[in-house]
Structure 1
Amino acid sequence: MSKWMMGDRFDTVYPHKGSIKALWETKWKFCSQKSIYPFHDGSFEDFEPIFEKLIADNINDPFTDAYTKTFLPIVDNLEKQATQALEYGHPDRAADLYRRASVVLRIARFPYVSPTTRPDNAIKRATFDRQKDLYLKAASLWNPIIKEVIIPHTHRAANDGPSIPLYVRVPNEASASNPVPVVLLMTGLDGYRPDNSQRTHEIINRGWATVICEIPGTADSPADPADPESADRQWTAVLKYMAQQPEFDMSRVAAWGLSAGGFYAIRAACTHRTQLAGSVAHGPGSHHFLNPEWLAKVNDHEYPFTITDCWAEKYGYSSTEDFIKNSQKKFSLVETGVVDQPNCRLLLLNGVNDGVVPIEDCLVLFNHGGAKEGRFFEGMVHMGYPNSLPVSYKWLEDVLSPNITEVKN
């Protein structure tokens, strides 16, 4: 019997492993039909022919150029249709087509884009850049729009980059005389700035602004992935920028870390506790997910592809073996004592059967630092979807707008 709370699943090889055919037929086809992770905002009609071709051509490795290139003809067609729709005066249709194209590009560059462009990941980086371009074309037609803001990294050190790119969406009614609460979204290992449309819709509908930023070691983050404290410097710079926006109410700022971003939501709840009214750590790792015993089995679990190689690069290791051996001592929020500090209000959310990061990573935090809040969903996997989303929004409403009229999710 496994010592992990997920029980016998810990030693189970999940049925979608081994081939694109198995992944599509046992997992991703359903996700695509329902427009749920990682196909949220996408259309099944776009993906079905792509996966039929991947299966027919026996392309099983998502890290190859052949995998990514299979998606691009569909993108080309959607982009062409979007351009024509704009020319004929149909901006809503154009926005919809650009959105669909950007979701196809999301899966094409899935599962991971490194901040460093190398020959072996150049096509993923180029695909991500195209995704951002088409996504912003869609978002520029929304009301209110999403805009990209590139700010100086005012607290950079050592190997940090010079600037931090953000996506910002602000309610039309926000102004210096009517400042609004702000949700700082911290993205994940495979979900980046262009992958959070529904969250921004929900946030805007509540009268709040949102600022979206990528986490160290992913996408466009300038933070040194090998330095555990680089995230602290990044959030300090981002919060400094936010404080300079008169339409933001800095007394009502909440962080929301998604999956791998949940790790940073926990950390920020401690390191930036005086600047945050609250923090949601959604599907977070904190300590045990870096345990070599866990890492020896995690690639067999629910994540669509191999995850340890991506984690190794994300945390600044040159080899997966070095990551597995040494990362817990260096990055664990327990080992480093980060969570022994006081914290702002902190909500921990996850599924009890999470096979990406163990539920133990939430439970261990109740024995460290300040008081925590938690909601854990029996029988559910990573992130606790879909049941965790209403809990997230209700908690944020209580923190940011306790007098708000209830909004249905």
Structure 2
Amino acid sequence: MTLLDPRIAPPRTLEELREDVVRRIKGNGYPGRGIRLADAAAAMTALTSLDPDEWASVWTVAGDRVVEEAERTTRPDEQRELFKTAFSTYTMGRFPTPVTPGKRAAYDKALAAYMRYADLLPQKLEVVRIPFEGAEIIGYFRKPEGPGPFPLMVQCGGLDFWKEQVADEALSYLPHGICVFGMDMPGTGQSPIKGDVGSERIFSRVFDWAETRADIDSTRMFMRGVSWGGHWATPVAIAEKDRLLGAINHGGAVHHFFQPEWQLKALGTREYLLDLFGARANVFGVKTLDEFLAYGSRMSLLIDDQIDRPCAPMLVMNGAKDSQVPIADQLLLLQRGDAKEAWINPKGVHMGFGAGWGPERTIRDIIAPWLLKKLAQHDSGQS
């Protein structure tokens, strides 16, 4: 576990952690969605310390059991769902980020289980590897049936919601004729770079790749970032204003989130399941709290008035009661720069969820209609 500065809330005790994990999974709460209660109970019973590799080990054992079940069944639908469950279980083992040997091993198993699940879906998943600065961008591409070319949405996840979950969300866009490229935001998952000023260039490289594909209509492209990943939608909307029909900042940071006052407030609570500081610090590749606070402040979009630069059309989304990213960041976006559209749930928490709004409804009722509206405006020659 990351050594904590006294300004950071102490971790849960072992008993508190066990109880909170089971409580969240009983309520299908994040980050336990998709994990079976019996598997969680067994893992928490086996957990005897707060050591991160023991945490990884008990979830890896649970995930291995689910994989064994999947390999025994002869029913394809059941096998597919079991591999998906195994992915969720291993993902809890690497949670929030794989920075120890045991967590890295759990993450490797999560990736393998996800691919076995994806191979059993009727919708093909293409693993894309794009050369990038001596390394590679690894992304998941899903497209509707037919030759295309299709409009494209590039989407990144956030702090611990990565491209595998994004690739599953992509299934909601295929019926609308939209293909999706899911990727990890800088500093997470398999991203080849850390989060830093200028890291939005990684998304530009993906749009370059899209222009080489006959099945993608590169005149009809979008960007969406969720949670912390929503931050990247704004500099991308600025950098790629001439290539994008729109960008969606869904609960992403702009300025206030990066300030020490907000970070110390967030890190002083135990709302997050475990090691929030370790996960956030890893995005930047720093170790100490002072390094993190100084580094984060560089990311503000108020520096050099970036927020005021011309940008692609934007949809700004969040909940007014968000405790992870202050709603003041979304209000800044609406008050500065080009005119933007917004969906703010007055009763919603992070990303606007709650009060009858969840991920599925938000995509169905807000995001997909906005994308389709922008496509229709483009096709009719409107700005």
Whether the TM-score (by the shorter chain) exceeds 0.5 is yes
Match of 1:167 in 2: 140
Q: Are the aligned partners of 2:237 and 2:312 in contact in 1 as well (CA < 8 Å)?
A: yes
Equivalent pairs, count: 364
User: CA RMSD of the aligned region, Å?
Assistant: 2.5
Q: Does 1:350 align with 2:318?
A: yes
1:141 aligns with 2:120: yes
Q: Is the 8 A contact 2:153 2:223 kept in 1?
A: yes
Counterparts of residues 1-400 of structure 1 (less than 5 Å): 18-19=12-13, 21-23=15-17, 25=19, 28-54=21-47, 57=48, 59-60=49-50, 64-85=52-73, 88=74, 90-113=75-98, 121-153=100-132, 156=133, 161-173=134-146, 175=147, 178-196=148-166, 198-225=168-195, 227-232=196-201, 234-299=202-267, 300=269, 302-328=271-297, 330-386=298-354, 387=357, 389=359, 390-400=361-371
How far 1:150 sits from its partner (Å)?
A: 0.9
Alpha-carbon spacing, 1:301–1:340, altered in 2? closer, same or farther (3 Å): farther
How far apart, in 1, do the equivalents of 2:89 and 2:42 lie? 12
Give the distance between the partners of 1:348 and 1:366, measured in 2 at CA.
Answer: 8
Question: What is the DSSP-based 3-state SS (H/G/I as helix, E as strand, rest coil) of the residue aligned with 2:244?
Answer: coil
The answer as to whether partners of 2:316 and 2:333 remain within 8 angstroms in 1 is: no
Deviation at 1:356, TM superposition (A): 1.5
Normalising by the residue count of structure 1, what TM-score does the alignment of the two structures yield?
A: 0.82
Between the two proteins, what is the percent identity of the paired residues? 26
**Per the alignment, do residues 84 and 391 of structure 1 end up closer, same or farther by CA in structure 2, a change over 3 Å counting?**
closer
Gaps of 5+ in 1: 1-12, 115-120, 405-409
Residues 141 and 182 of structure 2 are in contact (CA less than 8 Å); yes or no, is this contact kept in structure 1?
yes
Secondary structure of the residue that 1:144 maps to in structure 2? Answer: coil
Amino acid at match of 1:42: I
Distance (Å, rounded) in 1 between the aligned partners of 2:23 and 2:61: 23
- The change in CA–CA distance for 1:403 and 1:318 in structure 2 (over 3 A counts) is closer
Deviation larger for 331-340 or 161-170:
331-340
Amino acid in structure 2 at the alignment position of 1:251 = T
Relative to 1, partners in 2 of residues 1:281 and 1:128: Cα closer, same or farther, differing over 3 Å?
Answer: same
Amino acid aligned to 1:401: L
d(CA) in 2 for partners of 1:208 and 1:374? 22
What SS does the aligned partner of 1:331 have? coil
User: Where does residue 401 of structure 1 map in the other structure?
Assistant: 372
- Are the structure 2 counterparts of residues 370 and 318 from structure 1 closer, same or farther at C-alpha, using a change threshold of 3 Å? same
Q: Per the alignment, in what secondary structure is the counterpart of residue 348 of structure 2? A: coil
The 8 Å contact of residues 245 and 374 in structure 2, kept in 1 or not, is answered as no
Query: Secondary structure, in 3 states, of the residue corresponding to 2:151?
Result: strand
* Alignment check: 8 A CA contact 1:217 1:314 kept: yes
Q: How far 1:336 sits from its partner (Å)? A: 4.1
Name the amino acid aligned to 1:94: Q
Q: 2: CA distance between counterparts of 1:306 and 1:133?
A: 25
Residues 188 and 194 of structure 2 are in contact (CA less than 8 Å); yes or no, is this contact kept in structure 1?
Answer: no
The change in CA–CA distance for 1:20 and 1:279 in structure 2 (over 3 A counts) is farther
Q: Show CA shifts across 1:233-278 (max 9, x none).
A: x111111111212111223222111111001012211111222211
How much has 1:67 moved relative to structure 2? 0.9
SS in 2 for 1:152: strand
Q: TM-score, with normalisation over the residues of structure 2?
A: 0.87
Unaligned runs of 5+ in 2: 1-7, 376-383
Q: Is the 8 A contact 2:138 2:190 kept in 1?
A: yes
Q: Distance in 2 between matches of 1:24 and 1:210?
A: 37
Q: CA deviation at 1:401?
A: 2.6
Q: Is contact 1:278-1:399 (8 Å) kept?
A: no
Q: Distance in 2 between matches of 1:290 and 1:263?
A: 11
CA distances 1:311-360 after superposition (whole Å, capped 9, x unpaired): 222123342211213421x1111124322111212122222222222111
Name the aligned partner's letter for residue 284 of structure 2: Y
Render the CA deviation track for 1:274-319: whole Å, top value 9, x for unaligned: 2221112112111111111112121205322232332222123342
Post-superposition offset of 1:388 = 5.8
